[in-house]
Amino acid sequence: MIAIKELRLKKGMTQQQLADDCGITLRTIQRIENGEVKPSLHSLNTISRVLEADLSSFVEQSSSKPYEFNVNFKITDMNQFLTDLKVLFKNHWKVIALIVLAIWLASSYTDIKAGILDGWNGK
Percent above pLDDT 70 for the chain: 83
pLDDT top residue among 60 and 123? 123
pTM, 2 dp = 0.48
Which range in 29-38, 49-58, 72-81 is most confidently predicted, on average pLDDT?
A: 29-38
pLDDT band at 59 (very low <50, low <70, confident <90, very high): low
Radius of gyration of the chain measured on its C-alpha atoms:
21
Position 43 pLDDT exceeds 90? no
Residue ranges per domain, the chain?
1-70, 73-123
Q: Is 67 helix (H, G, I), strand (E, B) or coil?
A: coil
According to CATH, the topology of domain 1-70 is 434 Repressor (Amino-terminal Domain) (1.10.260)
Long-range (24+ apart) CB contacts under 8 A made by 84-91 are 84/24, 84/25, 84/28, 87/23, 87/24, 87/25, 91/23
**Amino acid, res. 79:** N
